[in-house]
Amino acid sequence: MLASRGLAILTLIISSIVFYGWIITFSDNSSIRLLGVSIISIVGGTLSSTWLYKVYSSTSEKESYFWLLLCLGTLLYVISNGIWLCFQIWGGSSQFPRVSNWIWILEYIIFLGALIYKTQLLSMRHSNNHYIFYILIFMTIFSSISVYYLIKPIISITNSSISISTIILIYPMLNLSILFVTVTLYYLSKTSNNRKVILILISGFFIQVICDSSLIFLRLTGEYKVGGLIEPLWLIAIMLIGLAGVFRKESGKPEENWSLNDDSKKEKVILPYLGVLLFILLAIESYQWKFNALSIGACIIFLLIIIRQFLIMKKNENLTDEYRDLAYHDPLTGLKNRTKFRKDLMNVIDEAQLRNHKVGLLLIDLDRFKYVNDTLGHYTGDGLLKEVSNRLKDGLEVYDNLYRLGGDEYIIILPNASALYCQQTAEAVLKEFTNPFLVNEYEISVTPSIGISVYPENGSDQESLFISADMAMYLAKENGKNNFQFYNAELHEIINRRVYIESELSKAIEKDQLELYYQPKVDLYTKEITGMEALLRWKHPKLGFISPQEFIPLAEETGNIVAIGEWVLKTACKQNKHWQEKGFDPLCISINVSARQFEHSDFINAVSKALDETGLSPQYLELEITESIIQNVSESKEVLNRLRSIGVKLSIDDFGTGYSSLYVLRELPIDVIKIDKSFIDNLTDSKNLSMIKTIIDLGLNLNLHVLAEGIEHEYQVKKLVEQGCSSGQGYQFSRPVSEKDFEALLLQSSIYTIE
């Protein structure tokens, strides 16, 4: 792309140098000089027509008409110069033939039509009525100057035929019209994303108007010479018009895209007033600088009006800056917001596409932010967001490319970034979260999960690039949080599976796809079954058995865990009651309770309802609660006491891995503590064994039942018995099994270990 543009610009420069070189070299040989002028003009005009035709053939229907008209205009330029060349070769005349002049006039009419058409296209897309005032001032000034200094002298001195007089008068009139429309187009282009193309185009027409005006002036003064130094400027103007087509074709971006208005820029309003001051000076000059009291007073009043206008504009500029700041910045943190992010990312991707660069996108999501909001309040949550934003702004080199999307999501744009630079930036972000944040006298520790996508490998536009970063961020969360992950092709399949499972999960109960498996709890001395734990399984008709580690977190996120939890409660109670009615010894069945269930307002009613509907005695139901749920002891104590009043048993699952303390065990109505598998796996370590001994002694001293989870070997059983632990469960005794297989276990008097 850049090569095509560069070649076109180089062609224009070389053509200009050759043109001027030819004129200077053959300044004394008019016939050779004029032949070169015609030939170079024809070649340059042909190139311009070719460029414009290419963009015409590759743009949308409405916009293509504009480029077609420009192409026809440049083609007429070539034809008129071709006719002049023929007259020089075969007619022996160096003067412009009248037919060439009429073709040039037709060329200007077509150019004018193209500009008017383009102006209408842009005006339909956007309201720019506030520019009309400036345009009218500018055109009034230029028209008055043109009439006074150009058209009036032409009318007063011309004694030529009507045809020649008409031609001479038509040029300034067409130039005034073209100038008026180009000024309008200039102001309309202020909000166009493809403004560079329009500015190149306007430059071409402006040079053309200057050349024509200079030609008339030189003719009036008798200083014009055919093939003089002014001639190359017409070619430069025509080639600039064609060059606009090259830039439009290579950008591939519609010119009707709009960004937010930026009406406060000084250059947008200062030019008309400078023009007015110039006009006053010229008007005074026309009266040969003769002043009186009235003219002096008028000038002073006018200057005061202009000063007042500038003061008003300055005030409006400040207000506009404030509105723009609100539109583009997050009021809480002061960072740039989602609107600014979308605008900047689009521009960065456009630039990267032109220069064949990469763009990195880092999506940052704060882990445990919801917990902070729920436990410490939204005021503290807002304070945390401010502190996080300030630390990132102060600590990152790329702070200027940091945005807050909303909630606890931040994003960083890295222009011209390699994968290594993205990784280094992500590591820098993680480092900023090493120390806790001090908010309202709380020391709060949060961590980020970061997803990284890279343009163009992971997305060809801003939407797909953002989706890829979002997918990578969720992978970071699933990999334990407080890390970063790059998007990859496999991730797309993972996310698709996740989305599919999420949609199917809500229908799992209705379609009878859920079932409970049961794992026995065993007396470590006698090997007799003393209870069982109900474990949820999901058998999908297409995906088969889906791991609980995969679908339980999704159920938590979506809220489906509440309905699923109620189903588990009712099904487990019903099955336990069924076994009792079949004559088996009454056993206690334990059920895992998720954080979302425990916090749900109807949880206690759901437990009571399950017991009432199934007829199971509350003493045979045990609810297992993870340590993370009971962080807020006062709230947890209230719920647990109400559950205890129903008569169910309560246990702490995965004991020793979370927030356990003597205070928690003393304050909460707990019946059982379950030693986590991570302790059982390393029983050969003396320190680990000492910790297990401490937990067992602690439980026994508090009159709590202690059960070891995850027993897989006989030596573990022996070690636990030696330390005084009497209960356990694990693969050493039985894997979780179906209802039918568990019933077969109940028929046995005891479970024998397998060496």
Q: Is the pLDDT of residue 131 over 80?
A: no
The secondary structure of residue 403, as a DSSP letter, is: E
**Between 196 and 456, where is the model more confident?**
456
The strand pairing partners of 728, in sequence order, are: 522, 708
**Nearest alpha-carbon partner for 346 in 244, 472, 251, 262:** 251
pLDDT per position as a tens digit, 314-324? 887 778 777 77
**Between 545 and 601, where is the model more confident?**
545
Sheet holding 359-367, edge to edge: 402-406, 409-415, 359-367, 447-455, 484-486
Domain boundary (458, 487, 516) is at: 487
Residues 359 and 366: beta-carbon distance below 8 Å:
no
Q: Is the pLDDT of residue 735 over 90?
A: yes
The label of the residue with tokens 């963009």 reads 55
> Is position 459 within any domain?
yes
The secondary structure of residue 436, as a DSSP letter, is: P
388 in the same domain as 309: no
88 in the same domain as 194: yes
Mean pLDDT of 505-514: 90
d(CA 194, CA 354): 13
Which range marks the domain in which residue 277 is found?
A: 268-328
The pLDDT confidence band at residue 3, using thresholds 50, 70 and 90, is: very low
Residue 166 sits in a domain whose CATH number is 1.20.1070
Mean pLDDT of 633-648: 87
Domain boundary (304, 328, 352) is at: 328
The pLDDT confidence band at residue 484, using thresholds 50, 70 and 90, is: very high
At residue 732, the 3 state secondary structure works out as coil
**Nearest alpha-carbon partner for 254 in 339, 197, 202, 199:** 197
The pLDDT confidence band at residue 753, using thresholds 50, 70 and 90, is: very low
Residues 617 and 588: beta-carbon distance below 8 Å:
no
pLDDT of residue 124: 59
> Is position 59 within any domain?
yes
318 in the same domain as 230: no
Distance, C-alpha 188 to centroid of its chain: 27
656 in the same domain as 578: yes
pLDDT of residue 264: 41
Q: Residue 10's CB: how many other CB atoms inside 10 A?
A: 10
344 in the same domain as 318: no
273 in the same domain as 252: no
> Is position 493 within any domain?
no
Domain boundary (229, 259, 289) is at: 259
Among 233-237, 338-342, 368-372, 506-510, the range scoring the smallest mean pLDDT is 368-372
pLDDT of residue 358: 93
d(CA 664, CA 637): 9
The label of the residue with tokens 């079954």 reads 529
> Is position 39 within any domain?
yes
> Is position 755 within any domain?
no
The label of the residue with tokens 């503290």 reads 380
Q: Is the pLDDT of residue 271 over 70?
A: no
**Nearest alpha-carbon partner for 471 in 558, 367, 361:** 361
**Between 520 and 180, where is the model more confident?**
520
Q: Is the pLDDT of residue 255 over 60?
A: no
Residue 431 sits in a domain whose CATH number is 3.30.70.270
- Domain count along the chain: 4
> Is position 494 within any domain?
no
d(CA 707, CA 674): 5
> Is position 483 within any domain?
yes
DSSP for 657-711, please give it.
SSS--HHHHHHS---EEEE-HHHHTTTTSHHHHHHHHHHHHHHHHTT-EEEE---
The label of the residue with tokens 């900047």 reads 344
* Cα dihedral sign, 177-178-181-183: negative
The strand pairing partners of 45, in sequence order, are: none
d(CA 449, CA 472): 9
607 in the same domain as 587: yes
d(CA 601, CA 599): 6
573 in the same domain as 451: no
Mean pLDDT of 519-548: 93
pLDDT per position as a tens digit, 317-345? 778 777 777 788 888 998 999 999 999 99
Residues 736 and 519: beta-carbon distance below 8 Å:
yes
357 in the same domain as 434: yes
At residue 288, the 3 state secondary structure works out as coil
212 in the same domain as 65: yes
> Is position 495 within any domain?
no
pLDDT of residue 397: 82
Q: Is the pLDDT of residue 653 over 90?
A: no
689 in the same domain as 556: yes
Residue 676 sits in a domain whose CATH number is 3.20.20.450
3-state SS, 578-597, equals HHHHCCCCCCEEEEEECHHH
Residue 152 CB partners (closer than 8 Å, separation 6+): none
pLDDT of residue 660: 52
pLDDT of residue 736: 95
The pLDDT confidence band at residue 498, using thresholds 50, 70 and 90, is: confident
The pLDDT confidence band at residue 132, using thresholds 50, 70 and 90, is: low
Helices (H) and strands (E) in the chain, counts: 27, 16
Mean pLDDT of 556-572: 92
The pLDDT confidence band at residue 123, using thresholds 50, 70 and 90, is: low
Residue 744 CB partners (closer than 8 Å, separation 6+): none
**Nearest alpha-carbon partner for 708 in 674, 736, 681, 684:** 674
736 in the same domain as 643: yes
* Cα dihedral sign, 562-567-572-574: positive
d(CA 586, CA 577): 8
